[in-house]
Amino acid sequence: MAPDERVPGLRWLGHATILLDGPPAVYVDPWRLEGRKGLPRAGLVLLTHAHFDHASPEDLVRVAGERTLVAGPVDALLRAGAKGGRAVTAGERVERDGVRATAIPSHDRDGGFHPPGSGVGWIVEGAGPRLLHAGDAGVAPPRADPPPLVIALPVCGGTVLDAEAAADAAAASGARFALPIHWGDLQGGYADAVRFRDALAARAPAMRTILRVPGKPRR
C-alpha cells in the first residue's frame, strides 16, 4: 500500500473538511480554506454539527454561491450564518442536481461533548465516490447499505473515536477505502493517522487507507 493512497474525485482539505469534486462540488464541514487556490464553487455544503471548526461562516462564504444549498443541524446552520439553509436531523435526505445526501446519527454519549441528537454524519452519493462522513463520532456510525466506497472517521481520540476504535468501525463498514480525519490541527497528529492505518491493516487487510505523508501542505 502506498503511503499516499488516493481516490479520484475526493479531496481531504485538512481536519474534517472533505471535498467531492462533482459536479456539483460538495463540501463537508469547510474550515480554514483561506489561501486555497482553485477550489470549485459549491453546489452543496453539508455541516455535521455546530462546533466552530465544523460550521465556519468565513469558510462558507469562501465556497458558497447564489445556488449553493447548505444543509445540517439547525444550530450548525445558525452558527455558519447559512440563511435559507436546510435543517436536517438523522434519517433525512437532501438532494441537489443529482447529488443525494442522507444524514445519519453521529454522537458520543449522554453528557458528552457530542451528545446524541447534537450532530449528524453524512452519506453522499452522486458527486464522486460514495462517501460516509462520520462527523465527530465517538461511537461507530451505523452500517450503510450498500456500503460506501470511502468511510471518513475521526481518529484523534478524546472527544471522538481513537485510532483503534475508528479502525474497528472502518473494518465493519464494508468500505473499500478509509480516510482518517480530525488530526493534524486542533487535536491529534500524523501518529494517530498511522496508528489507524496499521490497526486497520491488521483488521481488514483488503481495505486501503487514504493517508498523506507529512510535509505535504494541507491547505
pLDDT tens per residue, range 103-142: 999 987 666 666 776 799 999 999 999 999 999 999 999 9
pLDDT, position 117: 67
pLDDT score of 1 more than 80? no
What's residue 126's pLDDT? 96
pLDDT for residue 140: 94
- Half-sphere exposure (Cβ direction) of 32: Cα atoms closer than 13 Å: 15
What are the residue ranges spanned by the domains of the chain?
A: 10-209
Return the axis-axis angle of helices 163-173 and 190-203, rounded to nearest 10°.
Answer: 40
Would you call 90 helix, strand, or coil by DSSP? coil
- Write out pLDDT tens, residues 152-207: 999 998 889 999 999 999 999 999 999 999 998 888 899 999 999 999 999 999 99
**Is residue 147's pLDDT more than 90?**
yes
Average pLDDT over residues 1-18: 82
Candidates 199, 136, 194; CA nearest to 172 is 199
Q: What is the pLDDT confidence band of residue 80, given thresholds at 50, 70 and 90?
A: very high
d(CA 43, CA 62): 13
The H-or-E segment that residue 19 falls in is strand 18-20
pLDDT at 151 over 50: yes
pLDDT at 61 over 70: yes
| Cα distance from N-terminal residue to C-terminal residue, the chain | 24
pLDDT of residue 219: 40
Q: Which CATH class is domain 10-209?
A: alpha beta
**217 has pLDDT over 70:** no
- What per-residue confidence (pLDDT) applies to 112? 65
Q: Look at phi and psi of residue 186 and say left if phi exceeds 0, alpha if psi is from -120 to 50, else beta.
A: alpha
Cα 119 to the chain's mean position, in Å?
12
Q: DSSP label at 103? A: E
Categorize the per-residue pLDDT at 214 as very low, low, confident or very high, splitting at 50, 70 and 90: low
Question: Is the pLDDT confidence value at 92 over 70?
Answer: yes
Q: What is the pLDDT of residues 11-58, one digit of tens each?
A: 999 999 999 999 999 999 999 999 888 899 999 999 999 998 899 999
Phi and psi at residue 153, in whole multiples of 5°?
Answer: -135, 140
**Max Cα-Cα span within the chain:** 46
